[in-house]
Amino acid sequence: MKITGVESVLLSAPLSEDSATRWSGGEMTVASVSMLLVHTDAGIVGLGDTYAGGWFYPEAAGAVAKHFSGVLVGENPLNVALLTERMRASCKYWGRVGAAINVISAIENALWDIAGQEAGVPAWKLLGGLAQERMPYYASAGQEKPADALEREMAGYVRDKVPAVKIRVSTNLDRAVEKVETCRRLLGPDIQIMVDAVMGSHPKPWDRKTAIRFAKAIDRYDITWLEEPCAADDYEGLAEVRRESPVPISGGETTFGLIEFGHFLKAGSLDIVQPDACTSGGMLECMRIAAAASLFGVRVAPHAWGSGATVMANVHWSFTQPNIMVQEIPTWGFPLRDALLVEPIRFDGGHILPPTAPGLGLKLTQEIRDAYPWRGGYGATVRAA
């Protein structure tokens, strides 16, 4: 079997008012997806999602993928590790972080999708098999929205017996604390709450003193973790926040590769790291990050907040690692979370079960392409500094 080409596919999903994504650093009323299809001469097609590519540079992601076609075409797609290293080597001078790694991640995930389909098994079996038979999950949404919409969302989690919920908060300290208090009241005492300040994409993130004040202010509401309370690359600042905070500190969704995560680990910045197979360098790199985290006694909670291709890539590698504490499942109303799945995510009480479909369990049909045509422009609007 040989790779015959890499295809860029752009899709757009308009979001309802309740589903529109608004956070401290920007907003998105149309969710754009930049996916890559790896084609083979055996007719097997692998699917990967560049994640940030769809949000912030959709058309550029396809152009970056063309560069890697020269490395891939004519090669055996089952040599996943070899091809991933060749892609990394081909952009060493200009692509150690950023768009190149998003694209490499998408292609590597697509190669695992091919390998699983060729073998007739889910990708996690090829990555080493199960380390957990069922995995805790949390619902991830809680955007900035009107009070009545937030109340409806929280009531839905209570109704559905969701075990844990992550919310996003304003950079205004008083409003942020008020939202945490409101969500705790609406969810009751038994549902875990994670709080995301989303400072990895904010032009003026909190300094460490503000982050510490916020952490101490929300401790009374029994918070599982506080995510990205400072700039994503403020390793020393996060370390100070971690030392002073009564709430565990997490981060890493915008962090690239084991080397960048190593800065967090060596500085003692985080209690919980959050690699993403579509941002951090692919599923193999996420497994390396999880192994490194275990050496420092740091827990792992993978980030997964995009299309079904993003979610499933992270679910598959997560099931192979013993130190995954919980899996993120996006619940903000994105239709392409479920539309791409060959089988639905299998929920079992407060857990998810391992996928059973071959590969990553994804399928991009012509019907999906027709239903979500590319609208041009950018899905996310980031706040100016």
List C-alpha distances in Å: 72 to 40, 43, 276, 296. 11, 16, 23, 36
Q: For residue 20, which amino acid is it?
A: A
Q: Is the pLDDT of residue 162 over 70?
A: yes
Contact 48, 283 (CB under 8 A): no
Residue in the structure block whose two tokens are 């945490």: 180
pLDDT of residue 21: 78
pLDDT of residue 4: 98
Q: Mind listing the pLDDT tens digit for each residue in 244-298? A: 999 999 999 999 999 999 999 999 999 999 999 999 999 999 999 999 999 999 9
Q: Which two tokens stand for residue 11?
A: 């899709």
Contact 141, 152 (CB under 8 A): no
> Which residue has better confidence, 112 or 377?
112
Residue in the structure block whose two tokens are 């890539």: 313
pLDDT of residue 384: 56
Q: Mind listing the pLDDT tens digit for each residue in 208-251? A: 999 999 999 999 999 999 999 999 999 999 999 999 999 999 99
pLDDT of residue 158: 98
Contact 261, 286 (CB under 8 A): no
Helix, strand or coil, per DSSP, at residue 267: helix
Q: Is the pLDDT of residue 24 over 80?
A: no
Q: Is the pLDDT of residue 377 over 90?
A: no
Residue in the structure block whose two tokens are 């790896």: 38
pLDDT of residue 115: 98
Distance in angstroms (rounded) separating the CA atoms of residues 377 and 51: 16
CATH 3.30.420.40 is held by the domain 125-352: no
Question: Mean pLDDT, to the nearest integer, of 113-141?
Answer: 98
CATH 3.90.1150.10 is held by the domain 3-121+366-382: no
> 28: pLDDT confidence band, cut at 50, 70 and 90?
confident
pLDDT of residue 382: 72
Helix, strand or coil, per DSSP, at residue 268: coil
Q: Is the pLDDT of residue 20 over 80?
A: no
pLDDT of residue 16: 81
Q: Mind listing the pLDDT tens digit for each residue in 64-86? A: 999 999 999 999 999 999 999 99
- Locate the domains of the chain by residue range: 3-121+366-382, 125-352
Question: Mean pLDDT, to the nearest integer, of 18-38?
Answer: 85
> 154: pLDDT confidence band, cut at 50, 70 and 90?
very high
> 22: pLDDT confidence band, cut at 50, 70 and 90?
confident
Contact 251, 238 (CB under 8 A): yes
Query: What residues contact 156, with CB distance under 8 A and at least 6 apart?
Result: none
> 385: pLDDT confidence band, cut at 50, 70 and 90?
low
